[in-house]
Structure 1
Amino acid sequence: MRDSERDEGETALLAALFGGAPRCWYVLDRELRLVHLNRAARAVGCLPGEEAIGRRFTDLVPGFPAAELTGLAGEVLATGVHLTGRLLHGHPAAAPDRAQVLSLTLYRLEDGIADGSRVPLGVAVAVEDVTAREAAAERLAVLHEAHQRIGSTLDIATTAQELADVTVPRFADATTVDVLDEAWRAGPAHRGPVAPDHPLRRAAYRTRHGGEVAVRIGGLSTFPFPTPFTQSLADVRPRLVSRLDYGERWLEADPAVTELWRTAGVHSMMAVPFAVHDTVLGLAAYYRYERSEPFDEDDLELARELTARAALSLDKARSYARERTVATALQRYLLPRRAPSVSAVDAAHLYMAGGAGSDWYDIIQLSGARVALVVGDLAGRGVEAAATMGQLRTAVRTLAALDLPPDELLERLDTTTVRLAQDGALVPGGGDPDSELIASCLVLTYDPVSHLCTAARAGHPPPLVLDPAGRVVPFEVPAGPHLGVGGAGFDSATVELEEGSVIALYTNGLVSDRGRDSDASLADLREVLTRQPGRSLQELCDSAVYGLVPQRPDDDAVLLLARTHHLAEENVAAWTFPDDLAVVSQARNAAQRQLLAWGLDDLVYSTQVIVSELVTNAIRYGRGAVQLRLIRDRTLICEVSDQTQTAPHLRQARNTDEGGRGLFIVMQLSAQWGTRYLREGKTIWAEQPLPEPT
């Protein structure tokens, strides 16, 4: 084949390939002037056609950055290194309000010479309109970011702000999120359409450059009727206003907002409701004013998906907040409404509900003017955990009524916890039946007569005790296992306290919930309590909050403070009698003399009957010496102790029975009575109310 024929064949082949290529091809000379373009460029009109021959490359693409184009072509011409898929953003001259993305491929055209070197002839440029492809890719990127960022917490405001942050500025120039007021306040789900006058809370907003908005976060408002917002909430369907016409009637419904939009240059908007199944949560609104291209149907579809993703997270946040609110309300209902007034101690408490845990506390009046202080901590959250806490607190109060010492009370509470958990009556932490029930408890009793304080603990932090001068009182309470372990024993410790000593019981949430070492937090608590020992207990509780809880706790926090009192010696009288029925009359006479000395003449007869019955029973059914003790406190307490642990039995005597009415008589004459077991022996006690002062 001759060279001329080969050249003609190659030229024809190149012409066919160049002319039939789907892309727009342009050939530039060394001065970057157009010398040739293919059929696609003429037909599709990616750039101007034949009339552009001989013009500079920068003249061919009005609306695109000319300097960048010249720089790219010049670089390829000078270096010979080709560029592929270089994206160029701009606006076509024919539609300046529409964004366009072009993909450029540039390579140098060369001619070889005899010595093997290459001579640059110009630059070939392939141009492809990839606006739709890039828009789709950008929408996918926004969706991906939304899935990564939205719903990171179970908080409505945070979730709403995450949606606003994802969409501005990548998708919209401004985004506002409004939720129904009941959803904001963790109320019940709103089913079906939303009335135009329904109040909404501004949950979040974001603008491209921090522009002004009509309603600030947390503000309560309603959408004016009729507008795309009310229509969208009425039928739970999105609304697209592709091009905003400020002459439309609906814009007159809220002139202030309309003027704000006009000033900002808002030209396109969408209103998309938050809906999960038949539950409506609120509305998201998207605006454009800096981006010239209006929202279209593809944008509306993206807004639907973004809002639906956020709606799921908002509904979870609302459900969680509602459950937490119900659980907190239930927990507060199950806790003491107010600290009971007891003579043994002055008490104050701090309770802060957090996101996890069901802590509790209690102050229980015991027989003999004694008092029990209790704190507990149940791992878990929600209504189930609060209900479980209530069951444990009830069990503690029931066992405390038996006047058990703290270690024995915890042993029985541990057994009760195991049985209730096995029967399914107690729900493990978090309501998961496969998880373990983890609870801790500390029980402390104080006797104002003997001044003895006894405590035992089950997996709980030890108490902190300070003397009246603010010095720490050594009180090492042996650590015991958590409740529910079963079969483990508990040990107690006892210390004698001065009057005015301060006892501090607390839960882990107070000292170990902020990333700090619990020992350091406990030292801070000690410093708070010792800084000014004479302050009121409530002031000390508040100071503990200021010093230890600078932020809202993630866990429940309880602090129970008690300042001890001593019962004056003149208010206690005690006698010991031998094991002989002949001493019953002596006991009655001793009680009479003491009551007359106290000025309690009205209680002499009833007390003598109670003393006679209790001392007689102790001598008849017990063994060893019998002790009688009278305590004048807020009630008159009569105690008879012996050295046996045989429990008395109350029964209804028949008319023909000659005996068996002793305890029944005691019950009738007393406000309350019971049995308290000692290490050796028992005490039968009865209380009578003091006469009203005249």
Structure 2
Amino acid sequence: MGASTDDAWGRSFSFDDIATAVVDDQGVVLRWSRAAADLLGHTAEEACGSPVRNLLARLSHGRCRDSPQQSGIPSAGRAVLRSSFGDQVEVAFRVVRLEGSSQSLVLALPSQYLDMWNQNTALARALFAQNQIEIGIRGLDLGTVRTNAAASGPSGGSAALVGGLLGKALSAQDAEEVESVLRRVLDTGVPLIAWEQRVGPPQAHGSQWSLSAFRLEDGQGQPTGVATMLMPSAAQQRDLHHLDLLHEASERIGTSLNVLRTSQDLAEVLVPAFGDMAWVELAEAVFQGDEPPKLVGAGLWHLRRAAVVSATGSVPGELLQPGKSVPPLPDPPVLRRLRCGETVLASVQEASEQLGPELAPLFVPERGHSVLYSPLFARGLLLGAVVVWRTDRPDPFVEEDRKLLAEIASRAATSVDNARRYTREHRASVALQRRLLPRTTSDIPAVEAAGSYVPAGGGADIGGDWFDVIPLPSFRVALVVGDVVGHGLHATATMGRLRTAVQTLADLELEPDELLTHVDDLVQQLAEEGGPAQPSVTGATCLYALYDPVSRQCALASAGHPPPVLVHPDGTAQLIEIAPGPPLGVGGMPFEVTNLRLEPDSILALYTDGLVTLDGQDIEDGMSQLVESMATLCAGDGVPSLDGIGRSLLSRATEMPSRDDVALLLARTRALPDDSTAAWQYPADPAIVAEAREAATGQLAAWGLDHLAFTTELIVSELVTNAVRYAGGPIVLRLIRGNVLICEVSDPSNTQPRLCRARWTDEGGRGLYLVAQLTTRWGSRYGQRGKTIWSEQPLASAVE
């Protein structure tokens, strides 16, 4: 058959190649086109009146779609037809139903034609989609018909060469030469292959590009235009590759403030785009955030390998592995040049000879043939070096590659130094934070306590959250948790100042509301110190709880802080309803005290809002969830560990980086036995001094503390005498036995007692001085009615 012998790949699309036939609903041929006769060799008289399936040899398996019509012919697909020439022809066909008729139109085309046109279309689409190859089609007048070049393409001006006016991209002389070359291709049909041409504005230097051109012809071989292909020359391709590498380096390196991550990013940028293997070695001090020492000679680099990347994905075992210290190195010329800040290009022979046979296996990879060394210099500091090897790719490094690595290393060194400085600052901040916080556990007569602190960002950031356990006289204890607004060293420093202020005020044994009022004044003063431009503190919240194990009373006051959770000894948990009060620094509003009685073995949980707002959780839902978690953790017969409870509550904050730091303080309350306290009340009469001494010595004998009777008599005598003389009655004497002996004398006066040194002629003034010498410490506190002077003695005698 004539059609089957034509060269399909030399044919242009033509409607004349489409064979058509009209069939009825039974598949009988009613009309037969000339193209159908040429395709199969059957004339219209032979084909009409016969079922079209008589021409069918077979349907191409799996290449027909839709359900068969009544005629038995699929709606579309491929089939093999019998021709009158004795062979078979594979065609692609489609059956179209004619509107208002029972007849259908059958369209058929040799499959090879369709395949050729599809492939040609795919090829043209792929070419025009390239962004590194600029394609242009010009007509017979060399005017642009079609192009993929953008107005400002990667060639920086070549768009005008393939798709616009030559004079805009070239000088007049070059434009005339290019037009002459393209006209020659159009006239002769001889293609132009890889003709080097400088492209750029006439007044600029431009860049070198490779131009190829081919004549376009129609199906009859007549020219229709010229196709042009503009590609970067070898040097231009290298320059573009270097630009891409620099762009990737600027995007990837420095996104992390971790020294190891930054080193890894640097090595990954270089492999495989630039070399087959790369590693980064940094001074030991850099990993700790310190400045590297000055290099004074051979063997004193003090480097450690930070990162290694290989194009194969694995690092050969004989090479120095990541994390290993670099052994002392000799002082060959290459390393001296490196110390001076020069990027060095060397061959494998030079590298092996200068390292020596013992060190070469650690630094020279197998099949390595070309190497580049580049120092990491930043702010005059030699932080380390980056080394790139080529092993599998045959072309060695050249001078342009050396310059490129020097540029990348220079930028990377700044990122490494930023990470180093961040490490130093963060380490200092964390150390400050840890120093400012108390011990995590406390075991005192009033409570057993365990505190925890989790920085924000998974440890990457610090803040102003704090907790504190402050032992007070008479076995009382203050439990504190607070939160300074903001993060970083500024918030940590402010937290330290507030914590110190709370400790100082707590030592004065103020009531919780009075203490928070003083702290509120301090926060306002700190804000005024910095002024509007640099305020020392922008605000804080605080919860202060004062617990007395003798009376088992707990007084709480809050300055805008979330309420604590109380777990009763039976395991039930609840939020304590307290008046929150304003945050510290607002001023002008009072704080309210909430009093409650705590049974022994109750657990009090004080926390900052970071614990109940993880992942943007609503604070109310977070507090409800905290209550449920506390009840679950404290359920059971055994006594739960405070450390275990704390780890469980903070597990979410440690598993995923939180946006806010978290402080948590858990305290299990204790109570002194009733028989550990004895109290007496007396009128303001000098005669009661002896009675008070006698009552005290009797109680000490009952407790088995006779060895403290003498000193206690003196203390009671002096304190009660002063109360009778200067304060009036009633006077209350109280002894408390715990891990120390407490002696308290309360009176209705608000006069502050003073310790003074009496002269040898004075008849009085030695009472408090004597008390101070006989006790480990003493002091006074004020209540709603008068004051209490107290003293503390160790239970063991001085002789023991």
CA distance in 2, matches of 1:247, 1:167: 20
Tell me which of 261, 282, 285 is aligned to 1:179: 282
Equivalence for 1:282: 384
Equivalence for 1:656: 761
CA distance in 2, matches of 1:276, 1:23: 54
CA distance in 2, matches of 1:307, 1:489: 60
Deviation at 1:317, TM superposition (A): 1.1
1:250 aligns with 2:351: no
The residue type equivalent to 1:373 in the other structure is L
Judged with a 3 Å threshold, the aligned counterparts in structure 2 of structure 1 residues 315 and 576 are, in CA distance, closer, same or farther, namely same
Matches within 5 A, 1:555-574: 555-574=660-679
1:320 aligns with 2:422: yes
Judged with a 3 Å threshold, the aligned counterparts in structure 2 of structure 1 residues 194 and 321 are, in CA distance, closer, same or farther, namely farther
Matches within 5 A, 1:622-633: 622-633=727-738
CA distance in 2, matches of 1:512, 1:220: 44
CA distance in 1, matches of 2:333, 2:556: 67
Tell me which of 215, 218, 228 is aligned to 2:323: 218
CA distance in 1, matches of 2:394, 2:731: 99
1:476 aligns with 2:577: yes
Judged with a 3 Å threshold, the aligned counterparts in structure 2 of structure 1 residues 141 and 520 are, in CA distance, closer, same or farther, namely farther
Q: Is the 8 A contact 1:454 1:495 kept in 2?
A: yes
Deviation at 1:500, TM superposition (A): 0.4
CA distance in 2, matches of 1:195, 1:555: 48
After superposing the two structures, state which structure 1 stretch, 145-154 or 253-262, moved more.
253-262
Equivalence for 2:474: 368
Equivalence for 1:463: 564
Q: Is the 8 A contact 1:23 1:127 kept in 2?
A: no
Q: TM (normalized to structure 1)? A: 0.78
CA distance in 1, matches of 2:240, 2:737: 85
CA distance in 1, matches of 2:777, 2:539: 36
Deviation at 1:347, TM superposition (A): 1.8
Judged with a 3 Å threshold, the aligned counterparts in structure 2 of structure 1 residues 434 and 24 are, in CA distance, closer, same or farther, namely farther
Give CA deviations for 1:625-656 in whole Å, capped at 9, x if unaligned. Answer: 22221101111111122233232233333333
Equivalence for 2:135: none
Matches within 5 A, 1:353-364: 353=455, 354=459, 355-364=461-470
CA distance in 1, matches of 2:182, 2:358: 53
Q: Is the 8 A contact 2:526 2:537 kept in 1?
A: no
Deviation at 1:322, TM superposition (A): 0.9
The residue type equivalent to 1:444 in the other structure is A
Deviation at 1:293, TM superposition (A): 3.6
Deviation at 1:306, TM superposition (A): 1.5
1:342 aligns with 2:448: no
The residue type equivalent to 1:299 in the other structure is D
Deviation at 1:463, TM superposition (A): 1.9
Deviation at 1:554, TM superposition (A): 6.2
After superposing the two structures, state which structure 1 stretch, 373-382 or 632-641, moved more.
373-382
Deviation at 1:229, TM superposition (A): 7.3
Deviation at 1:309, TM superposition (A): 1.5
Equivalence for 1:398: 504
After superposing the two structures, state which structure 1 stretch, 173-182 or 510-519, moved more.
510-519
The residue type equivalent to 2:379 in the other structure is H
Q: Is the 8 A contact 2:216 2:226 kept in 1?
A: yes
CA distance in 2, matches of 1:518, 1:287: 55
Deviation at 1:187, TM superposition (A): 2.8
Q: Which runs of 5+ in 1 are unaligned?
A: 1-15, 47-83, 86-99
Paired positions, count: 610
Q: Is the 8 A contact 1:101 1:134 kept in 2?
A: no
Equivalence for 2:253: 150
Equivalence for 2:702: 597
- Secondary structure of the corresponding residue to residue 265 of structure 2: helix
CA distance in 1, matches of 2:679, 2:544: 28
The residue type equivalent to 2:273 in the other structure is R
Equivalence for 1:447: 548
Deviation at 1:20, TM superposition (A): 3.4
Deviation at 1:278, TM superposition (A): 1.7
The residue type equivalent to 1:637 in the other structure is I
Deviation at 1:447, TM superposition (A): 0.6
Q: What CA RMSD, in Å, does the superposition of the two structures yield over aligned residues?
A: 3.8
Judged with a 3 Å threshold, the aligned counterparts in structure 2 of structure 1 residues 162 and 524 are, in CA distance, closer, same or farther, namely farther
The residue type equivalent to 2:504 in the other structure is T
Q: Is the 8 A contact 1:193 1:233 kept in 2?
A: no
CA distance in 2, matches of 1:683, 1:248: 84
**Highest relative contact order (Cα 8 Å, sep 6+), 1 or 2?**
1
Q: Is the 8 A contact 2:477 2:547 kept in 1?
A: yes
1:20 aligns with 2:126: no
Judged with a 3 Å threshold, the aligned counterparts in structure 2 of structure 1 residues 521 and 269 are, in CA distance, closer, same or farther, namely farther
The residue type equivalent to 1:490 in the other structure is F
Judged with a 3 Å threshold, the aligned counterparts in structure 2 of structure 1 residues 111 and 331 are, in CA distance, closer, same or farther, namely closer
Equivalence for 1:167: 270
The residue type equivalent to 1:249 in the other structure is E
Equivalence for 2:432: 330
After superposing the two structures, state which structure 1 stretch, 21-30 or 322-331, moved more.
21-30
Equivalence for 2:603: 502
Q: Is the 8 A contact 1:28 1:122 kept in 2?
A: no
Judged with a 3 Å threshold, the aligned counterparts in structure 2 of structure 1 residues 238 and 24 are, in CA distance, closer, same or farther, namely farther
- Secondary structure of the corresponding residue to residue 666 of structure 1: helix
Deviation at 1:232, TM superposition (A): 5.3
Judged with a 3 Å threshold, the aligned counterparts in structure 2 of structure 1 residues 188 and 508 are, in CA distance, closer, same or farther, namely farther
Q: Is the 8 A contact 1:193 1:280 kept in 2?
A: no
The residue type equivalent to 1:641 in the other structure is S
Equivalence for 2:412: 310
Judged with a 3 Å threshold, the aligned counterparts in structure 2 of structure 1 residues 487 and 18 are, in CA distance, closer, same or farther, namely closer
Q: Is the 8 A contact 1:574 1:630 kept in 2?
A: yes
Q: Is the 8 A contact 1:676 1:683 kept in 2?
A: yes
After superposing the two structures, state which structure 1 stretch, 398-407 or 481-490, moved more.
481-490
Equivalence for 1:377: 483
CA distance in 2, matches of 1:555, 1:195: 48
CA distance in 2, matches of 1:502, 1:494: 16
Deviation at 1:345, TM superposition (A): 0.9
User: Identity across aligned pairs (percent)?
Assistant: 41
Deviation at 1:325, TM superposition (A): 1.1
1:410 aligns with 2:519: no
Q: TM (normalized to structure 2)? A: 0.68
Give CA deviations for 1:324-382 in whole Å, capped at 9, x if unaligned. Answer: 11222233233334645411111222234431204333221111111112223334555
CA distance in 2, matches of 1:23, 1:161: 53
CA distance in 1, matches of 2:732, 2:592: 28
Q: Is the 8 A contact 2:279 2:386 kept in 1?
A: yes
The residue type equivalent to 2:513 in the other structure is D
